[in-house]
Structure 1
Amino acid sequence: MSEKKKLVLHEDLVVVILGALIIALSIGGLILPVPAFSWSNASELTQTVLEPANLGIILIQFVFVLVIAVIGALLTGKSLKSYLLGFPVVYFMTILALILAGNSQVKAINLEAVIFSLGLGLIISNFFKLPEWLKSSLSTELFVKIGLVLLGTGVIFGDILKAGSLGLIQALIVVISVWYFAYWLCKKLKIDDELTMMISSAVSICGVSAAIATSGAIKGDSKKLSYVISMVLITAIPMMIFMPMFANYFGLSQAVTGALLGGSIDTTGAVVASGSLVGEEALKISTIVKFSQNVLLGIAAFAISVFWTYTKHPNSKDPDSKPTIGVIWERFPKFVLGFIAASLVFSFILDAETISAVKGSLKNLQGLWFALAFTSIGLETNFADLFNKQSKKPFYAFLIAQGFNVVVTLIVALLLFN
């Protein structure tokens, strides 16, 4: 007797469906409370994070994301039994990472939750043998892409245009020039194509989110993505501290300093922290510039996917042949459409009251899906794969490209904001 055939959908299509479902439920009134993870000492940890009411919120959040993940598993044809066994383990590890990242001293040096998620996963995978049911439950790509669709809800075109078009102009100039320089540099250093694309996007656009989106667009190796994100987070910390000192030493105005910080520091959290060290105007301008780069993320992911399709056409027998529209559509990362659609809905359709009501919950869920993804990446990765002899050239390329980024951004900031 033949086994009943399962309905299996493409992962990118499933991601758009799940992202739309989460957004629709939020708009419809299912707004999840945001759990507290901030603490400064053991007493505060017990009274806030580990307090029964907050643990109840974490449990409600677990049930919600488990249901979404199970729907994803069913639609993509994965083992439901493995998911039900493995997902709670990944979630528990991720919550532990969020608690560690919530410490006030950790926040002061801007160590993000994803680095703890990745670290915990790496420790477990490198010192213990993972059972098969846990390995088969890991869905890194699914979690990352759901987070990216939700990221679109925070990219509001109106706010950026209202605040000033200069930030968008700067973002466009910096993204294009830095991306091509980083791409050229990586090619000169003979770095492989996947790392080249991820490094170029991470340095030029918006750090972690850009690296994730690019990896999705080219179906990149998650281990390489881990390495790129590690570089982004490691370099963001000293830049966050020393860039304001640099600006102060050379007597740059707050507007120019803000534009410099927003255009050169790769993570939004580090940009906000750095801008706060300078002043209110610097914080405002740096945030506008960073958000302007975020707006370009969807467009960049689309362009990268088309470029990748043309340069990596599967017909190896006839390398000169051009890919058809069908091939481009097949390879096109559909989650980008979800990101753009979410951004358009929140920019032009929903009223300010609705956006205000749902944005906190959706921002929390976006961060949670990213953290779940990096816990999964850590569990899939070996230290030797992440940091090996071949990782030196990409790191040098990243640092040189970041230096070029600072110079170009400073010149453009002086021209536009001085």
Structure 2
Amino acid sequence: MSYQNANVDNLTTNEIINEPAPAKKSFFAAFTEDIWAVTIGSTIIVAILLLSTLVTGFKLQLPVYQWETTGDLVNKVLSLKNILVILQTGLIFLLLSGTAIGLSGGSIKNFAAGFALIYVLAIIAQVIAGNKLVDYYGLEYVIFALVLGLLFGNVIKLPDWMKEAARSEFFIKTGLIILGAGTLFTDIIKAGMPGLLQSVLVVSVVWFVALWISRKLKVDDEFGVILASAVAICGVSAAIVAAGAIKGDKKKLSYVTTLVLLVAVPMMVLQPWLVKVLHIPEIVGGAWLGGTLDTTATVTAAAETVGEKAAKAGVIVKFSQNVLIGVAAFFIAIWWTYRKNTASETAEKPGIGVVWERFPKFVLGFVAASLLFSFLIPTTVTANVGGTLKGLRTVWFALAFVSIGLEARFSDLVKTEGGRPALAFIGAQFFNILWTLLWAYLLFGGILFPVPDIN
């Protein structure tokens, strides 16, 4: 048979035979961002636990950022000793994250260059937040990290080497694994039924109301789910979990996370002021702040201006909501999978495998760390390593919020879908504030239950 008469099947076969065999894929090619986050976060937790157990009096030296006067800034924060610790910490984090990026096929050279800049901005944010006056007003490092990222990202066009390192989801997922070690079920039990009830009632109702508002304003459901999760559960962390569960658009996630932090600033200032002006009972005020503010740090900072009991109540309620991250991820993955299925008449019925594919795997690392430190690790060990793990978690989060700022655009807040997602977020947050205050009164004000003994 001549070449001209060869059929297509034979030609295709010959071409395939003549082509070189495809290169063998690396074992790490199958590692997703979630797997790397769990791997690195778990490695850090295990390493700290082992060192604290094997080395008597072990305490990892972390950079110092707290200062009050110019002298403190120069002699403590900017001292040669502290700068060396900052550099050593940066190198360790670069090694951990750079290994993941390199084995995943990314450019280590570009990532290292971009990481250096992001790390410097993250350090500046922590130095600003470390000032005693700034700390007094409850303005934490995440706000300054976001602002620095926004200013930098909106002034210049990001080069490719910087984009390679601006991996907000990867950084924050890794930090969330470590956060699991500080989210203890035993703390939640202290609040008893009122704390658990408030968390469930606030999260479930606010989530559906936020989604309803989004739909009324003609915001697409993908945006609505991410937005509703951020408002109802715990801000940026919940938004990332929801985006993972529905495999959402990263630009929409960046939009929502920027909104979360921009709206958090006035809430941190106004809500404690309202607690005092309206003479809201201290524990009720703390539960209110814990159910509406988006991070444990902002809750603590704002509630401490109200009182010690308010701070404890706020943190307990916030921990209760943090634990619901895993539950929310599971139900969002199921709901979204079946919702997409019913929208398509020809689609096959989705099984558990589809739900598992959508489920954000890093949430399992968060839950596992929480269970480990709640029930298996002795409380003395937990107390010894708590500060160290919190310090390391802070670095990951600072890197994440700088990256969020770099990826976001001020103009997008108005231009994206005509600014309707921003209006939906603000409307949902307003409902969240009123709804949470109602249940804080009912559950912590001695109306439905005795006032919890929080000491």
Structure 1 and Structure 2 fold alike (TM over 0.5): yes
SS at match of 2:248: coil
Structure with higher Rg: it is: 2
Matched, 1:69 2:89: no
1:274 maps to which of 268, 290, 302: 302
Aligned to 1:134, which of 149, 155, 162?
A: 162
Q: List aligned pairs for 1:15-26, cutoff 5 A.
A: 15-26=37-48
- In structure 1, distance between residues paired with 2:429 and 2:103: 40
Contact 2:275 2:306 in 1 (8 A): no
Residues 265 and 271, structure 1, Cα contact 8 Å, conserved in 2: yes
Match of 1:5 in 2: 25
1:241-256 aligned within 5 A: 241-256=269-284
TM-superposed CA distance for 1:104, in Å, is 3.1
Q: Which moved more, 1:128-137 or 1:172-181?
A: 128-137
The 3 A distance-change label for structure 1 pair 395 and 61 is: same
The runs of 5 or more residues in structure 1 that have no matched partner are none
Q: CA deviation at 1:130?
A: 3.5
Q: Is the 8 A contact 2:67 2:77 kept in 1?
A: yes
Say whether residues 1:337 and 2:369 are aligned partners: no
Identify which range, 108-117 or 197-206, moves more after superposition.
Answer: 108-117
RMSD between aligned residues: 2.5
Say if 1:93 and 1:375, in contact at 8 Å, map to a contact too: yes
Give the aligned residue type for 1:59. L
- What's the secondary structure of 1:199's corresponding residue? helix
Paired residues for 1:358-377 under 5 Å: 358-377=385-404
2:410 aligned with 1:383, yes or no?
yes
Question: Quick check: 1:14–1:75 contact (8 Å CA) kept in 2?
Answer: no
Alpha-carbon distance between aligned partners in 2 of 1:128 and 1:344, rounded to the nearest angstrom: 44
| Deviation, structure 1 residue 377 | 2.9
**What is the correspondence of 1:7-406 to structure 2 with a 5 Å cutoff?**
7=27, 8=29, 9-29=31-51, 32-312=60-340, 318=345, 320-388=347-415, 390=417, 392-406=419-433
TM-score normalised by structure 2 residue count: 0.84
- Distance of 2:261 and 2:69 partners within structure 1: 25
Farther off after superposition, 213-222 or 346-355: 213-222
Match of 1:411 among 438, 446, 453: 438
Aligned to 2:10: none
Give 5+ residue unaligned stretches, structure 2: 1-19, 53-58, 446-455
Structure 1 distance, partners of 2:370, 2:40, is 16
The normalised TM-score by structure 1 is 0.91
Whether the aligned pair in 2 keeps the contact of 1:236 and 1:267 (CA below 8 Å) is: no
Shift of 1:35: 1.4
| Residues 298-349 of structure 1 deviation map (CA, whole Å, 9 limit, x = unaligned) | 2112222222222245x98655532222222222111011111111111111
Give CA deviations for 1:254-302 in whole Å, capped at 9, x if unaligned: 2222222222233323322332222222222222112111111221122
| Deviation, structure 1 residue 410 | 2.3
Matched residue of 1:5: which SS? coil
The number of residue pairs the alignment matches comes to: 417
Q: What is the CA distance between 1:74 and its match in structure 2? A: 3.4
Q: Check whether the contact 2:244–2:358 (CA below 8 A) recurs between aligned residues.
A: no
- Contact kept in structure 1, 2:300 and 2:314, CA below 8 Å: yes
Maintained 8 Å contact 1:195/1:394: yes
Which whole-Å CA distance do the structure 2 matches of 1:148 and 1:323 have between them? Answer: 29
Paired amino acid for 1:393: R
Shift of 1:213: 2.4
